[in-house]
Structure 1
Amino acid sequence: MKLLGLVCLAMAAFAANSVLNRAALTGGGVDPVAFGVLRLASGAAVLAPLALLRGGVPLLGRGRLTGALALSIYVFGFSLAYLGLDAGLGALILFGCVQITMFGGALVQRESVPPLRWIGAGIAFAGLLWLLWPGGAEAAPRVAPLSGAMMAAAGIAWGIYSLSGRGAGDPLAGTAANFVWAALAALGAAALLLLWPSLLPGTQILRIDAQGALLAIMSGAVTSGLGYALWYAVLPRLAASSAGAAQLSVPILAMAGGAAFLGEPVTAEFAIAALIVLGGVGLSLLRR
């Protein structure tokens, strides 16, 4: 029962990232770039000491460049996408693209893929395709195209991040190192833009108020930093299929959080797409 409670807490933290990001952007006092920079910096500030207590932060470990780059694309794609997506919808696109990317990675690495996993991945991909496709020749897209593309890019990047870190001996230490490098790069880029705003003329970025800063720090330090630490602590005690199935709850929790705290509507189209995508992913996780 204690393990179940810890798993539920970790999944709630992952879903809260979507709600916090969306809440910060709808408030109007923060832009997505500033949110992403502060999220990475606060996440690194929490994860690095935790990793140091456990033995160190491998800043020059194998695959560090890939991990830091994929993490940066995920964080900023995630933030930019929520300019035009509800919390639950964004989490569904992210989650579906992560799973499909990892399925593709298994094919590239010539892993044995059972027929049931092919069927499940195909159903999940069809659900995402239907959700992102315009409703008709003259109908508006079900999802804002740019926002959907940004979240899909974030999902692909997180899938690549997960694939690159599968062989890491200590996932928490590797994640801490990736957060440190990504945060340093983001802070360096932000400093350049503050010193020479002419690098991006006509744009308003790095704008943040107290409420936006608090939400970004909560997302980075608590729901990302501590959430990842908790997840990596319970992950060795879970079967692979159980770990994958647990993550099916994240889009649903994000949808519930968006409805409860942000007043976001739950449409019939989203509910149908969620059933198709999550059902397909769940099918692919079955042993037989």
Structure 2
Amino acid sequence: MNTLLYTALALIAFAGNSILCRLALGEQSIDAASFTIIRLGSGILMLMVIMPLTAMGKTQSLRDSTAKGSWKASLMLFLYAVCFSYAYISLETGVGALILFGAVQITIILIGIHAGNKLHALEWAGVFIAFGGFIYLVLPGLATPSLWGFVLMLIAGIAWGLYTLAGKSSQNPLADTAFNFLRTAPFVVVLGIITLSSAHITVQGIILAVLSGAVASGLGYTIWYMALKGITALQAAVLQLLVPVIAAAGGILFADETLTLRLILSGIAILGGILLVILGRQVVNRKGASDGLSRSDRHQIDRTH
């Protein structure tokens, strides 16, 4: 139940983040670099404030905490944030989502296969069904992407896939996320120096960037690392295909948007695909346990005879 709750909250945060980014950048309330800087900076402040207030913070200070994230994860976090912001300047929402989540899926699946975690028939079927439902959802917004936007969003997707995989080994999600954000500070400073002359900031843009960084990113990514402890990497990859569906549902609930047949059908396909991925791994695990038991029984019989 904890894993289910954490996963649901993280996916809602991702959907909120997507909406906040589109509102800020789509309406040109702020430039991409300033949005990224404020987003990561507010994430750092939020996590540094709340971490000492937790149970971990009462027993370990920031200085001698054993969970400190990694420079690799921090670089992936920064690459994802900055490339995501710049990519949406030249990409439609549907195209950007397709490239981003496609890159996440491929990155996690390929790394898993390289590590020896082969996908079985039900898992492959689930991946294709879920991704097919996702493509069907974003299909009306698809257009030929700009090369620059495509490359940037591809990098963002790969970086996010690697950041997700880094969270699989996290024993203290809050501390690891906090230090991952903190380590992006040097990259943020360099980005600020390079783009200072072209900065464009409004009050609305600042508010959207702070909400994106402090809440949807800082807290959302912490919850995501908490959820990763209870799901496989493949399940994490496929589950993220629900983000556009959740964002669309939010539009229906809070922006008086229309519930369409396309959203219903794509949601069913994505949920069905996710279910197949989850059940496929459980079937494989049960079969493996059964085979192991059978081998043990046979060995015991051989020893008896």
TM score, norm. by length of structure 2: 0.70
1:210 aligns with 2:216: no
- 1:43–1:224 Cα contact (<8 Å) kept: yes
Q: Residue by residue, what CA displacement relative to the aligned partner does 1:48-72 show, whole Å, maximum 9, x if unpaired?
A: 3333442355899787221111111
Identity of aligned residues (%): 38
Q: Residue by residue, what CA displacement relative to the aligned partner does 1:71-123 show, whole Å, maximum 9, x if unpaired?
A: 11111122122224455664454333222211111112122432332344455
Map 1:135-284 → 2, pairs under 5 A: 142-145=143-146, 146-194=148-196, 197=197, 204=198, 206-233=199-226, 238=230, 240=232, 247-257=240-250, 280=273, 282-284=275-277
CA–CA distance in structure 2, aligned partners of residues 219 and 158 of structure 1: 16
Partner of 1:19: 19
Change (3 A) 1:9 1:89: farther
Change (3 A) 1:98 1:242: closer
Task: Give the number of the structure whose alpha-carbon radius of gyration is greater.
Answer: 2
1:82 aligns with 2:88: yes
Q: CA deviation at 1:130?
A: 9.3
Q: CA deviation at 1:20?
A: 0.3
User: RMSD over aligned Cα, in angstroms?
Assistant: 4.1
Q: CA deviation at 1:6?
A: 5.9
Q: Residue by residue, what CA displacement relative to the aligned partner does 1:139-171 show, whole Å, maximum 9, x if unpaired?
A: x96252343443232111111112233223223
Change (3 A) 1:245 1:155: closer
Q: Residue by residue, what CA displacement relative to the aligned partner does 1:222-280 show, whole Å, maximum 9, x if unpaired?
A: 111122334445665x5548766754431201234467778999999998877767755
Change (3 A) 1:160 1:34: same
Q: Report the AA paired with residue 103 of structure 2.
A: C
SS at match of 2:200: coil
Bigger CA drift: 3-12 or 180-189? Answer: 3-12
Partner of 1:68: 74
- 1:57–1:176 Cα contact (<8 Å) kept: no
CA–CA distance in structure 2, aligned partners of residues 89 and 260 of structure 1: 24
- 1:38–1:213 Cα contact (<8 Å) kept: yes
Q: Report the AA paired with residue 30 of structure 2.
A: V
CA–CA distance in structure 2, aligned partners of residues 282 and 84 of structure 1: 34
Change (3 A) 1:125 1:108: farther
CA–CA distance in structure 2, aligned partners of residues 81 and 263 of structure 1: 28
Q: Report the AA paired with residue 97 of structure 1.
A: A
Q: Report the AA paired with residue 172 of structure 1.
A: L
- What residue ranges of structure 1 are gaps of 5+ in the alignment? 198-203
TM score, norm. by length of structure 1: 0.74
CA–CA distance in structure 2, aligned partners of residues 149 and 268 of structure 1: 32
Change (3 A) 1:222 1:242: same
Change (3 A) 1:63 1:51: closer
